[in-house]
């Protein structure tokens, strides 16, 4: 194929098609393709020094791997260091220490046995500076610095050419977002620095490529963001704020082509932050403003994050990815399809609706066993979409991989059938930490998501907090979301499919209007009505037992007696169960934590008689909590003959999680007591420790195990609450845990 610089648009398109045709033969391979499954999650704080506080902020942003594929090297910006992780056994990653640097590392890449680290040493935005530090990593336990190359500005992304001839560094010289509202231009201008990788690192030479005068937005201030190099030694560079892409011939150090990343119209997006996922909005002319870029054969793929608001108040953020050819012609535009896939998987961040939605940021491409794949990471949706690109002009979503919070770096390691995703959000105070997720290629089926909404319509969902089985239908469950979302509703779930499918929803209405409950539990009565538990806050919002009909019409609301409600301290109603029918109907409700007049370590289970309006109570003995945490109840499920299953959990996540347990209690022959009397204490028997189940997928152990149901056939299901993807990864576990003895 001739050099792209010699081709006209028509000739280029013809050549592209010719180049792409061999890939189409892999379509049959793709249909029988294998999948990734997560095998380990490494919390980055494990790499802190023995004398450091484990609560110290430490992150993994961009990750590279040693030539033998056994050592990860990641950038830790707040710690001003690079960290190393031993993945000799990828299922058991081990901390391998860190190397302190003289500034903030922004990117890392590996060439032969050298790790190249871009370091920002700027005195200020107006005085940008940086270096490229080169480490010999033949002994990963003791990286040896062998060269330091001045960069002449603030470096960002770095890439190595596939043939190993060149490195290219995007010298961003980023803008000060607090200066003049962050508007461009803000000089000095950035550029592309080429490093000729010839000889020993101390002898490497550098050349610069001027990128000014190309873009329409701020031609004097290009701010290059990300760089990727193909096997023809052509570097593709994104100028994110300028909404522009530049192709550079690294051998000659010349610009070959440049073009605008363009704009896109979006239909079916959520554009309001109103505590409801409503993908019905329209956005016109949104600049793509690509962040990461990757070569996919002869095409160029961009993750269109959108990160700039211009002087007219217009900002980018097309919530998608795009495939361009050399001339800037769009071969594929994802539009809203990726965001809709995240909505169906429960990963849509409603709190970002007025910004950039799922905000694609990272992108990478690789081939695994002749299966050509494209990986697109969502910074706000906390997952990576994997696309089959056997036909690059028509990518097909292959699977969705759950990640930690703020996935930034995407690192394919085809030589070991591994994929590594580094997630940079870290807050020990809030319970979540920066992680490195490791996935292995080769599974016959996709293990995630375990529950999603139907393809036939777009049903948004999240924050599942209660679960119940249908009394008459096989393979039918119901779930409710909590107060994270307004307009309370009941989801209908088909469990005959894997993953389970949310195939319907019932919006609750009272006197014809939607209602905003904090639903934490659901149960179905013998006549098909639903009983729902809404948690109060001990103030203006009361705890309520709500009865609706099958259409979701609120028939009654039942509050606690005033003398009981006065005892509330914080957490209130959680799980709910209903037994009996007619005059014998009783509604049971679990209280999450102790109230004022409850003994320490004992929490209430209430019993409500709908016919008389009377309440009675039992005490349930809680397991001890870890220091600084608490333990409470989150579900109550009837399994007949006076027996119930209870979920008891702590408020800890990740390695700190200890109490995630399912207990069985038997209330037959016991009578509840009224307020002011001594409540009988129930006996409990461990039914199942849920911690091994939560750890079984190699992920971060989730905090909120919230719902449990036993269906007509005696099968046990347990679901977690993903907190609406806010200060949480958004991952939902929908666990099928076998049969329960009734």
The predicted-structure confidence for 415-463, as pLDDT tens digits, reads as follows 999 999 999 999 999 999 999 999 999 999 999 999 999 999 999 999 9
> Strand 509-510 vs strand 166-171: parallel, antiparallel, or unpaired?
unpaired
Instruction: Tell me the pLDDT band of 594, cut-offs 50, 70 and 90.
Output: very high
pLDDT exceeds cutoff 80 at 405: yes
> Strand 226-229 vs strand 234-239: parallel, antiparallel, or unpaired?
antiparallel
Q: Which of 567, 562, 575, 626 is nearest to 594 (CA)?
A: 567
| HSE-CB of 724 using CA atoms within 13 angstroms | 17
pLDDT at 32: 63
pLDDT exceeds cutoff 70 at 733: yes
pLDDT exceeds cutoff 90 at 709: yes
pLDDT at 313: 67
Calpha distance 235→250 (Å, rounded) = 7
Tell me the pLDDT tens digit for each residue of 620-649: 999 999 888 999 999 999 999 999 999 999
Q: Where are the beta strands (DSSP E) in 254-359?
A: 254-260, 263-269, 281-287, 293-296, 299-304, 320-324, 330-333
CATH of domain 452-739: 2.115.10
Calpha distance 46→422 (Å, rounded) = 14
SS (H, E, C) 70-129: CEEEEEECCCCEEEEEECCCCCCCEEEEEEECCCEEEEEEEECCEEEEEEECCCECCECC
Instruction: Tell me the pLDDT band of 64, cut-offs 50, 70 and 90.
Output: very high
Calpha distance 170→205 (Å, rounded) = 16
**Percent of all residues in the chain with a pLDDT value above 70, rounded to a whole number:** 95
Calpha distance 51→48 (Å, rounded) = 8
Instruction: Tell me the pLDDT band of 14, cut-offs 50, 70 and 90.
Output: very low
CA separation (Å) from 495 to 236, 471, 517? Answer: 46, 14, 26
Q: What secondary structure letter does DSSP report for 703?
A: S
Calpha distance 407→91 (Å, rounded) = 20
pLDDT exceeds cutoff 70 at 5: no
**Percent of all residues in the chain with a pLDDT value above 90, rounded to a whole number:** 91
pLDDT exceeds cutoff 90 at 295: yes
Tell me the pLDDT tens digit for each residue of 259-272: 999 999 999 999 99
Instruction: Tell me the pLDDT band of 274, cut-offs 50, 70 and 90.
Output: very high
Torsion angle (degrees, nearest 10) of CA 236, 239, 240, 243? -100
Least-confidence region, from 14-28, 347-361, 635-649: 14-28
pLDDT exceeds cutoff 60 at 2: no
Calpha distance 46→655 (Å, rounded) = 11
Least-confidence region, from 179-183, 208-212, 423-427: 179-183
pLDDT at 570: 81
Q: Mean of the per-residue pLDDT values for the chain? A: 94
Q: Which of 617, 648, 622 is nearest to 635 (CA)?
A: 648
Q: What angle do CA 98, 101, 106 make, to 5 degrees?
A: 95
Instruction: Tell me the pLDDT band of 6, cut-offs 50, 70 and 90.
Output: very low
Q: CA-based Rg of the chain, rounded to a whole angstrom? A: 28
Instruction: Judge whether 619 and 603 are in contact, CB under 8 Å.
Output: yes
Average pLDDT over residues 14-33: 47
Instruction: Tell me the pLDDT band of 307, cut-offs 50, 70 and 90.
Output: confident
> Strand 234-239 vs strand 244-249: parallel, antiparallel, or unpaired?
antiparallel
> Strand 544-548 vs strand 71-76: parallel, antiparallel, or unpaired?
unpaired
Calpha distance 64→410 (Å, rounded) = 9
Q: Where are the beta strands (DSSP E) in 204-243?
A: 205-210, 226-229, 234-239
> Strand 451-453 vs strand 500-507: parallel, antiparallel, or unpaired?
parallel
Q: Which of 527, 579, 531 is nearest to 558 (CA)?
A: 531
Domain ranges of the chain: 452-739
CA separation (Å) from 723 to 22, 485, 629? Answer: 45, 10, 19
pLDDT exceeds cutoff 90 at 19: no
pLDDT at 309: 76
Which residues, other chains included, contact 645 with Cβ-Cβ below 8 Å and sequence gap of 6+? 635, 636, 637, 639, 662, 663, 664, 687, 708, 710, 716, 740
Q: Which of 544, 518, 404, 543 is nearest to 465 (CA)?
A: 518
Q: How many CB atoms lie within 10 A of CB 46?
A: 17
pLDDT exceeds cutoff 90 at 390: yes
Q: What secondary structure letter does DSSP report for 68?
A: T
pLDDT at 10: 41
Calpha distance 500→493 (Å, rounded) = 7
pLDDT exceeds cutoff 80 at 97: yes
Element (H, E) at 404: none
pLDDT at 699: 98
Tell me how many helices (H) and strands (E) the chain has: 5, 52
pLDDT exceeds cutoff 80 at 169: yes
Which residues, other chains included, contact 124 with Cβ-Cβ below 8 Å and sequence gap of 6+? none
Instruction: Judge whether 435 and 93 are in contact, CB under 8 Å.
Output: no
- How much is the pTM? 0.95
């Amino acid at each position: 194929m001739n050099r792209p610089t010699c081709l006209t648009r028509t000739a280029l398109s013809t050549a592209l098609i010719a180049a792409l045709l061999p890939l189409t033969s892999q379509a049959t391979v793709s249909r029988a393709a294998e999948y990734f499954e997560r095998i380990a999650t490494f919390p980055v704080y494990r790499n802190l020094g023995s004398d450091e506080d484990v609560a110290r902020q430490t992150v993994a942003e961009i990750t590279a791997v040693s030539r033998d594929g056994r050592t990860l090297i990641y950038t830790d910006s707040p710690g001003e260091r690079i960290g190393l992780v031993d993945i000799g056994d990828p299922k058991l990653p081990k901390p391998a220490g860190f190397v302190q640097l003289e500034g903030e590392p922004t990117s890392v890449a590996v060439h032969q046995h050298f790790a190249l680290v871009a370091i920002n040493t700027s005195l200020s935005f107006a005085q940008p500076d940086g270096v490229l530090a080169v480490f010999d990593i033949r002994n990963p336990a003791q990286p040896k610095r062998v060269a330091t190359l001045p960069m002449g500005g603030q470096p960002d992304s770095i890439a190595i050419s596939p043939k190993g001839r060149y490195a290219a560094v995007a010298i961003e010289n980023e803008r000060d977002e607090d200066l003049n509202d962050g508007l461009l231009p803000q000089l000095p201008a950035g550029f592309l620095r080429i490093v000729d990788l010839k000889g020993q690192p101390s002898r490497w030479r550098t050349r610069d490529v001027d990128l000014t005068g190309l873009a329409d937005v701020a031609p004097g201030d290009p701010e290059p963001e990300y760089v990727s190099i193909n096997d023809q030694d052509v570097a593709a560079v994104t100028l994110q704020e300028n909404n522009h892409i530049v192709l550079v011939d690294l051998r000659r150090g010349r610009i070959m082509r440049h073009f605008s990343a363009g704009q896109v119209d979006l239909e079916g997006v959520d554009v309001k932050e109103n505590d409801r996922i409503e993908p019905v909005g329209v956005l016109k002319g949104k600049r793509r403003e690509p962040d990461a870029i990757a070569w996919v054969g002869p095409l160029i793929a961009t993750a269109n994050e959108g990160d700039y608001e211009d002087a007219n108040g217009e900002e980018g953020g097309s919530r998608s990815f795009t495939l361009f050819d050399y001339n800037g012609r769009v071969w594929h535009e994802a539009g809203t399809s990726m965001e809709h896939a995240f909505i169906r998987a429960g990963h849509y961040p409603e709190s970002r609706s007025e910004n950039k939605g799922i905000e694609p940021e990272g992108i990478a491409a690789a081939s695994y066993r002749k299966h050509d794949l494209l990986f697109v990471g969502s910074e706000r949706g906390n997952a990576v979409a994997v696309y089959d690109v056997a036909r690059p002009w028509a990518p097909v979503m292959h699977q969705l991989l759950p990640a930690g919070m703020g996935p930034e770096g995407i690192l394919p390691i085809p030589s070991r059938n591994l994929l590594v995703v580094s997630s940079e959000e870290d807050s020990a105070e809030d319970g979540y930490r920066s992680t490195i997720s490791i996935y292995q290629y080769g599974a016959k089926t996709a293990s995630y998501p375990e529950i999603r909404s139907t393809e036939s319509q777009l049903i948004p969902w999240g924050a599942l907090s209660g679960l119940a089985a249908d009394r008459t239908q096989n393979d039918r469950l119901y779930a409710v979301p909590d107060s994270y979302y307004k307009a309370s509703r009941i989801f209908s779930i088909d469990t005959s499919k894997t993953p389970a499918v949310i195939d319907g929803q019932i919006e609750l209405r009272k006197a014809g209007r939607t209602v905003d409950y904090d639903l934490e539990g659901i149960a179905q009565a013998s006549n098909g009505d639903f009983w729902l538990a809404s948690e109060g806050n001990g103030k203006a919002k009361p705890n309520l037992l709500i009865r609706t009909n099958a259409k979701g019409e609120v028939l009654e609301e039942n509050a606690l007696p005033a003398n009981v409600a006065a005892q509330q301290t914080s957490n209130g109603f959680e799980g709910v169960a209903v037994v009996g029918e007619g005059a014998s109907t009783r509604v049971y409700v679990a209280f999450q934590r102790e109230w004022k007049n409850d003994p320490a370590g004992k929490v209430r289970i209430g019993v409500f008689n709908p016919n008389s309006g009377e309440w009675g109570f039992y005490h349930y003995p809680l397991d001890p909590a870890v220091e600084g945490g608490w333990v409470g109840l989150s579900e109550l499920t009837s399994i007949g003959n006076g027996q119930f299953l209870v979920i008891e959990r702590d408020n800890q996540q990740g390695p700190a999680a200890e109490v995630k347990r399912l207990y069985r209690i038997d209330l037959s022959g016991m009578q509840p007591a009224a307020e002011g009397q001594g409540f009988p204490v129930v006996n409990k028997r461990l039914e199942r420790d849920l911690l091994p189940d939560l750890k079984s997928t190699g992920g971060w152990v989730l905090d909120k195990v919230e719902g449990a149901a036993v269906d007509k056939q005696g099968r046990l299901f347990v679901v977690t609450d993903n907190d609406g993807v806010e200060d949480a990864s958004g991952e939902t576990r929908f666990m099928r845990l076998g049969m329960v003895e009734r």
